[in-house]
Amino acid sequence: MEFSEHIKTANVDDVVLKQPFHAPMKGTLCVTGHHLLFSDRSGDSSWQLLLLLRNIDAIEKSVENLLGYSSTGSNIRPVGSSGTITIKCKDLCILQLDIPGMEECLNVARSIEALSSLDNVTEMYPYFYRPSWLSLDDQWGLSTLEKHYDQLGALQVKWRLSNANSDFSVCPSYPPAVIVPQSVDDQMLVKAARFRQGGRFPVLSYYHQKNGMVILRSSQPLTGANRKRCKEDELFLQAVMDGSERAYIIDTRSAQQAQQARMTGGGFESKSCYNSWKRLHRHMERGKVLQESLIKLVEACGDQSHSMDRWLSKLENSKWLSHVHSALSTAGLVAECVERDGHSVLVHGSEGTDTTLLVCTLAQLILDPESRTLKGFLSLLEREWVQAGHPFQLRCAHSAYSHTRLRQEAPVFLLLLDCVWQLGRQFPLALELGEPLLLRLAREAYASDFGTFLCNNEQERCVLEVKDRTHCLFQFLLRSSEREHYVNPLYEPTDLAIWPSVQPQSLHLWTGLFLRWSDHTQTMEEVREEIWSIVTQHCGRG
Amino acid sequence: MEHIITPKVEHVKLLDRYATKKSATGTIYLTATHLIYVETSNNTRQETWILHHHISSLEKLPLTTSGCPLVIRCKTFHQLHLLLPRERECQDVYQSLLRLSQPVKLDELYAFLYNPKQNEEERREGWTTVDLATDFRRMGLPNDHWETTELNKDYKMCSTYPLMLAVPKGASQATILGSAKFRSRGRLPALSYFHKDSKATICRCSQPLSGFSARCLEDEQMLEAIRQANPNSPFMYVVDTRPKLNAMANRAAGKGYENEDNYSNIRFNFQGIENIHVMRNSLQKLLEVCAMKSPSMSDYLTGLENSGWLRHIKAVLDAGVFLAKAVSDEKASVLVHCSDGWDRTAQVCSVAGILLDPYYRTIKGFMVLIEKEWISMGHKFTQRCGHLDGDPKEVSPVFTQFIECVWQLTEQFPCVFEFNERFLINIHDNIYGCQYGNFIGNCEKERREIRLQERTFSLWPFLLEQEKQYRNPLYKRKTGTLRPNTLPLHFKFWCGMYNHYEKGMHPKQSVLDQLLSYTQKKADGEKKYVGSTEAISGC
C-alpha cells in the first residue's frame, strides 16, 4: 500500500507519552497508515493509545542534540539526541511524545504530517474500518427523504416528492429526492433552480403539524446587479403561500451584505417581486470569521494566566458566545413566525449550506418534540446536514490548532452542537439526547471510523460508494449497546415548543467541549453516573 | 405603624422588564413589615411580598402620562418597577417605605416583632441548635497543644471577640494579654480551625500596631507559641489578606504588618484582596450589568469584566486555597489577618474551612461555620448589611462574596456539598431580612446587651425543619481537602443570585427539583417500609 512510502520509521521504543488524565508512560510508538499506536512497555496487546491520524490538527516538533565530550577531550561529537513531538488534535486534546533519537523523531513527525493531511477520501480510514461487530450489509443511514415523506401523511395533500434531482443534475448538493409544493412541477423547479446559487431551489425543511405551516430553505436568488427576475421562482414561492396572506423570508445576512451580494451575481427577493413575503435580515457570521472565533476561544481556554480580566476579555474577543447568541435568536425568530404567528418561513443566506442549515435545525428542535428524541435528532442531522449538503469535508478539514492556511474551514456544525447543548441546559428534561452524544458528534465530524461525515454532499458519496464501503455512524449510535451512553437520564418528553432564552446571562461556555481535557470532564462523568443511579433506583429505568 | 400614611393603593402597574406591554395590574398594601403587591389583572391572585428590610434603595422617577413610577431595589437583588396612578399616593408610599426600610433603632427590626408561634422553651432550644463548644470538641479540642481560655471574660480583653476563645497552651496569660494590646482593637491571634490530621491550625487576628518599627515581645511570643503548637512544621505562615500597598499605608497610622525579621520562623505573604469600599463599588457595577436592558453578548462580557466582581471572588477563593494547602499539604499553621480581621479574614478562614473539612460542607456544618467565623468572631452584620439607617460607607457585600465563593465551589464539585443553591440563597436572604435574630448586632457583646436570644428566634432550627428542600440529591460525603481549579475560566457569573428574580433567564426546567422529587419519593417509600420508629431514631 502506498501509505508505506510515508513511513520511514514505523516503530520507536522508549518513547514517553504525556496525555491528559494519565501519568507519563514509557512505551513503544508505532506509525501505521491511519493510526498512531502507543503501547506501554509491559503491555502485550493492550494498546494504551490508538489515535486516528486524521484527528491530528497540528504537530510541533523540537529536537536537540545532546553534545558530549569524548574521552580525548578536544573532539565534540553527539552522544545522544532526542526530540519532542506535540500533537494537537481536532478534538482539542493535546499529547506529547518524547522520542529518543533525533532521526526517529523527525521521521515520525514527517510521517504524521504527511499521513494526517491525505485528502483522498477513499484512502481514509472509514474505507478500511472493518470491525467484526459491523457488517457492510447493515442498513446505511436512518432514513431517506422518501420515507420521511411517507411518514408525514398530513403534508401530502399540498406537498409532493420530486425526483427531478435523481441524477444530481438540477442541484449537485441536494439529495436525489426533495419535497416541493404539489403545484410546482419538475420543469418549473429546474428553472427555479437556475435562479438560485448552486441550484439550491427552495425545498421543504420542516412541516409544522399543528398548523400546516412550513420552514423552507434555499440559497440566495441570483438577481445580480440588474435585478434579474425569475417567473418560476416567484411562482414557486407563490405556491408555498397557498392562499395565506403573509410569509417570511429570514435572510441570515445583514441587509447591507445582501445588497453587496448583488455585485457578485447574488442578491435577495425584492419586495416588488415577492410582495407577500416579508424579508427580515438577521446577520450571522460564517466561514473564516467563525473559524477564527473558534481558534481564539480555544486559545483563551488554554491560557494558564490567572488574570480574570484577561480571560473575560479574551472570551469576549473570541465572539464565540455572540455567534451562539445570534444562531439561537435567529432560530427562535423562525420558530416564532411558524408557531406563534402562523406563517411559513423561507430561510437562506448565500450558499444555503451553512447558517441556513443551522437555523433550520435549531428551529425544528424548538418546535418539534420528535426531533428531540435520540433517533429523531440523528435523523434530523442526517436530513438537514448530511443529505442537505453541508460540506463536511471542507468545513471540518481543520480545527482550532492548525497552522495551515485556512481554506474553507468553518465550525458551523460545532456551533450547532453548542447551541443544542445550550438548549439542553435550559431544558434539561426536554432532550432525549445527552451531552455525551454532542461531544461524540463533535469528534466524529472531524475524524471518524465511520463514513457518515465523509464528502460534501450526496453526489460525492454516491460516486465514492460511501454507503457501500463504509459503516454508518448514526446506525451504530442507536444500537442498544451504545444508546445508553448517549441518552439523557432525565428525559421526559414534552409536546410544547421549547423557547430558549437568549439573554447573555442565559448562555454559557460549553465547558464539556472546551474543557474536555481538564478535570471538569471527570466531575461531569461522576455527576452523570450519580443521576443515573438516582433515576434507576427510582423508576427502574436504565 | 405610625409611618404608614396610605396603607393601600389600587390600580398599580408592575412593569415587566422585557415586555412593557405585559405589565400586571394590582393593588399594593403596606404593612408594618412588608410591602405586598397583589396582582388582580388576571384571574390568578399572585402575591409578591417585599420585606421592608430587604429594600436597599427607592427611586421616584419623573411623572409620566401613564402614572407615577417608583423603582424599588432590594438587597436580595430583586427589582420592582411600579407605576402608581397618582402622584400623591406615590409620594406617600415612597415616604413610608423610605422610613420603614431604614429603621433607626435595633428594636424596630422585624425579628423583635416576629412570632412563629413557639413557646419560650422552643425558643431557647432553637438557640442551642448550633453550639460552638461542640465544634471545638469535634475538631479535637482541648488537646496537648490547644485549650480554651476565659481571659475574655466580660469582653475586657477584646470587645468584639466572643467569650470563648481557643489559644495555644504554650502561651502564658501575659503573652496573650500583651499580644492583644499590640493588635488593632485587641483582636489577638485566636484559633479558627484545628486540622486533626496534620495538627496544623488556622488562627486569625487583626493587624499589628507595628507602625514603621514598633515591636511587641508578647506578640512575638504568641506567634511562636502558635508555631510550636504544631509539631509537624518548623515554620508558620502569616497571611495578610490585603494588597501590599494598603498594608504599607497602614503603617503611617501606627498599624501595618509583621516584620519577618522580628518574628522567628514565620513566612509572610500578602493575598491582595481589596477593601470593603472597592467591593461595594464592584457590586454596584455588577448590578448595573445585571439591570441592562437586552445587552449584547459583548456589552455583557465587557461589563462583567469592568465590574471586577469575579476578579474579587477569585482573590478570596485563591487566598482560601492558599490556607487550605498550607495546612493540609505542608502541614504548616497559618495566622491570617487583614486590617480589623472581621471582613477579609472571615471570608478567607471560612472558605479554607469549607475546603479542609467535609463537615462544613453539610447543612448543619455550614451553619456552624457561619456561626463560628462570622457571627461569633464579630463580623459587623448590622453595619455591613445596613440593617439600620447609618453610614453607607460601612455597607459592603463581604458576606455575599463568601456565599458566592461557596457557590462557585458547588459548581466545581457538584457532589461534595450536602446542600443546594437554594440553601445558600435562603441564608443570604435571611442575612438581610432580619426576621430572625442571628444576624443582628455587630458582635457577641452587643447581642448579649440587647438580650437577642430572649427576644428573637434563631434561623437555624427553621432551616433544619425544611431541610428536605435544601438537600443536594447528588451529595456523596467525601473526605479530604477540596482542590479547586482557580484558573479564571472556572468562575461563572451567578445568575441564580444576582438575576434571581429574572425568571426568564433561568433554565425552564430544574434538574434539582426533578432529582429531589425522585429521592423524596424513594425516601418516603423506604420510610413506609421500615416503619415510623426507625425514621425517628435515624434522624
pLDDT digits (tens, 9 = 90+) for A295-341: 999 999 999 999 999 999 999 999 999 999 999 999 999 999 999 99
Contact criterion met (CB < 8 Å) for A505 and B314: no
Q: Is there a contact between A60 and A86 (Cβ–Cβ < 8 Å)? A: yes
CA distance A533 to chain B (A): 10
Say whether B340 counts as a known binding-site residue: yes
With b for 16 or more beta-carbon neighbours within 10 A and e for fewer, the B48-61 pattern comes to bebbbbbbbebebe
Residues B459-509: tens digit of each pLDDT? 999 999 999 999 999 999 888 999 999 999 999 999 999 999 988 899 999
User: How far is CA A66 from each of CA A60, A77, A79, A104, B16, rounded to the nearest angstrom?
Assistant: 20, 9, 6, 15, 71
| Chain A residues lying within 8 Å of B492, measured CB to CB | 508
- The minimal CB distance from B504 to the residues A306, A321, A501 is found for A501
Within an 8 Å CB–CB cutoff, is residue B495 touching chain A?
yes
| pTM of the model as a whole | 0.94
Contact criterion met (CB < 8 Å) for B488 and A307: yes
Within an 8 Å CB–CB cutoff, is residue B412 touching chain A?
yes
- The minimal CB distance from A325 to the residues B297, B412, B518 is found for B297
pLDDT recorded at residue B529: 53
Among A505, A526, A527, pick the best mutation site for testing chain B contact (most B Cβ within 10 A).
A505
- The minimal CB distance from B489 to the residues A311, A430, A526 is found for A311
In 10 A of CB B26, how many CB atoms? 24
User: How far is CA B401 from each of CA B346, B396, B455, rounded to the nearest angstrom?
Assistant: 11, 10, 30
Confirm whether B338 is a catalytic residue.
yes
Among B271, B301, B474, B490, pick the best mutation site for testing chain A contact (most A Cβ within 10 A).
B301
- The minimal CB distance from A308 to the residues B302, B488, B511 is found for B488
Q: ipTM exceeding 0.85?
A: yes
Q: How many CB pairs under 8 A join A and B?
A: 133
Within an 8 Å CB–CB cutoff, is residue A519 touching chain B?
yes
- Report the distance separating Cα B301 and Cα B492, nearest Å: 11
Q: Which three cell numbers stand for residue B48?
A: 409578591
Of B354, B360, B358, B363, the closest CA to residue B464 belongs to B363
Q: Is A32's pLDDT higher than 80? A: yes
pLDDT recorded at residue A77: 47
Q: Which residue of B has its CA nearest to A424?
A: B507
Within 310-329 of B, beta carbons closer than 8 Å to A belong to 310-311, 314, 318
Q: Which three cell numbers stand for residue A73?
A: 577531550
Q: Is there a contact between B204 and B192 (Cβ–Cβ < 8 Å)? A: yes
Contact criterion met (CB < 8 Å) for A534 and B413: no
Q: Is there a contact between B406 and B413 (Cβ–Cβ < 8 Å)? A: no
| Chain B residues lying within 8 Å of A300, measured CB to CB | 489
| Chain B residues lying within 8 Å of A308, measured CB to CB | 305, 308, 310-311, 314, 488, 491
| Angle, alpha carbons A482-A144-A128 (nearest 5°) | 55
CA distance A287 to chain B (A): 20
| Chain A residues lying within 8 Å of B297, measured CB to CB | 316, 319, 321-322, 325, 504, 507
pLDDT recorded at residue A46: 63
Of A410, A383, A406, A382, the closest CA to residue A396 belongs to A410
pLDDT recorded at residue B310: 98
- The minimal CB distance from B509 to the residues A315, A429, A505 is found for A429
Q: Is there a contact between A360 and A217 (Cβ–Cβ < 8 Å)? A: yes
Contact criterion met (CB < 8 Å) for A505 and B300: yes
Residues A238-253: what's their mean pLDDT? Answer: 92
Contact criterion met (CB < 8 Å) for A312 and B310: yes
| Chain A residues lying within 8 Å of B321, measured CB to CB | none
Q: Which amino acid is at B271?
A: Q
Within an 8 Å CB–CB cutoff, is residue B244 touching chain A?
no
- The minimal CB distance from A538 to the residues B301, B490, B521 is found for B521
Q: With bands split at pLDDT 50, 70 and 90, how would you rate the model's confidence at A102? A: confident
Q: Which residue of B has its CA nearest to A318?
A: B298
pLDDT recorded at residue A404: 83
- The minimal CB distance from B301 to the residues A312, A523, A534 is found for A312
Q: With bands split at pLDDT 50, 70 and 90, how would you rate the model's confidence at A542? A: very low
Say whether B276 counts as a known binding-site residue: yes
Residue ranges of domains in chain A, CATH in brackets: 3-118 (2.30.29.30), 145-509 (no CATH)
Say whether B240 counts as a known binding-site residue: no
pLDDT recorded at residue A70: 46
| Chain A residues lying within 8 Å of B19, measured CB to CB | none
- Report the distance separating Cα B430 and Cα B457, nearest Å: 12
Say whether B131 counts as a known binding-site residue: no
Q: Which three cell numbers stand for residue A169?
A: 443534475
The runs of H, that is alpha helices, within A152-229 are 186-194
Contact criterion met (CB < 8 Å) for B415 and A316: no
> Helix A320-339 to helix A412-426 angle, to the nearest 10 degrees?
70
User: What parts of chain B have a pLDDT lower than 70?
Assistant: 1, 18-21, 42, 525-539
Contact criterion met (CB < 8 Å) for B486 and A523: no
pLDDT recorded at residue A103: 87
- Report the distance separating Cα A221 and Cα A267, nearest Å: 6
pLDDT recorded at residue B528: 57
Within an 8 Å CB–CB cutoff, is residue B509 touching chain A?
yes
What single DSSP character describes residue A122? G
- Report the distance separating Cα A215 and Cα B80, nearest Å: 40
Q: With bands split at pLDDT 50, 70 and 90, how would you rate the model's confidence at A487? A: very high
Contact criterion met (CB < 8 Å) for A306 and B476: no
Preceding amide of B142 cis, omega within 30: yes
pLDDT recorded at residue B539: 35
| Chain B residues lying within 8 Å of A311, measured CB to CB | 487-489
Within an 8 Å CB–CB cutoff, is residue B502 touching chain A?
yes
In 10 A of CB B399, how many CB atoms? 23
Within an 8 Å CB–CB cutoff, is residue A309 touching chain B?
yes
Q: What is the CA radius of gyration of chain A?
A: 26
Contact criterion met (CB < 8 Å) for B488 and A312: yes
- Report the distance separating Cα A353 and Cα A359, nearest Å: 11
Q: Which three cell numbers stand for residue B260?
A: 519577618
Contact criterion met (CB < 8 Å) for A503 and B505: yes
pLDDT recorded at residue A405: 82
- Report the distance separating Cα A47 and Cα A153, nearest Å: 51
In 10 A of CB B20, how many CB atoms? 12
Phi, psi dihedrals of residue A289, rounded to the nearest 5°? -60, -40
- Of B338, B385, B405, B434, the catalytic one is B338
Q: With bands split at pLDDT 50, 70 and 90, how would you rate the model's confidence at A41? A: low
- Report the distance separating Cα A304 and Cα B435, nearest Å: 45
Residues B110-159: tens digit of each pLDDT? 999 998 888 899 999 999 999 999 999 999 999 999 999 999 999 999 99
User: How far is CA A19 from each of CA A83, A86, A93, A94, B479, rounded to the nearest angstrom?
Assistant: 17, 10, 8, 7, 28
Can you say how many angstroms the Cα of residue A175 is from the centroid of all Cα atoms in its chain? 18
